[in-house]
Amino acid sequence: MTPAARERLRIQASMLSISMLAWIVVAIEATGMTLPAFCSAGALWAAPSTASLDLVLALNPPASLAGSWALMLAAMMAPLLIAPVRHIHDRCFPRRRARTVALFVAGYAASWMVAGAVLLSLAFAVRLTAPASWLPLTAAAMLALVWQISPAKQICLNRCHFRPELAAFGPAADLDAIHFGATHGVWCVGSCWTLMLLPLLVAYGHIAAMAAVALWLFAERLDRPMPPRWSWRGPGKAIRIAVAQIGMRPPRSQGNFRKSA
Residue type, 261: A
pLDDT at 44 over 60: no
Which residue stretches of the chain are H helix? 3-31, 42-45, 53-59, 62-77, 82-91, 94-129, 135-149, 151-160, 170-200, 206-220, 236-247, 254-260
pTM attached to this predicted model: 0.85
Helices 170-200 + 151-160 axis angle, to 10: 140
pLDDT tens digit string along 75-86? 999 999 999 999
Q: Which class for 142: exposed (0-12), middle (13-18), buried (19 or more C-beta within 10 A)?
A: exposed
Return the higher-pLDDT residue of 241 and 95.
95
> Whole-angstrom distance between the N-terminal and C-terminal Cα of the chain?
39
- What distance in Å separates the CA atoms of residue 236 and residue 243, rounded to the nearest whole number? 11
* Ranges 15-24, 208-217, 228-237: which has the least confidence: 228-237
Mean pLDDT, residues 97-116: 97
Q: pLDDT tens-digit profile of 193-230?
A: 999 999 999 878 889 999 999 999 999 999 999 999 99
Percent of the chain clearing pLDDT 70 (strictly above): 82
Contact residues for 112 (Cβ-Cβ < 8 A; gap 6+): 69, 73, 77, 185, 188, 189
pLDDT score for 58 = 67
Q: Which candidate, 113, 115, 38, places its Cα nearest to that of 74?
A: 113
Residue of 44 and 168 predicted with greater confidence: 168
Considering the chain, what is the average pLDDT of its residues?
85
Above 70 in pLDDT, residue 26?
yes
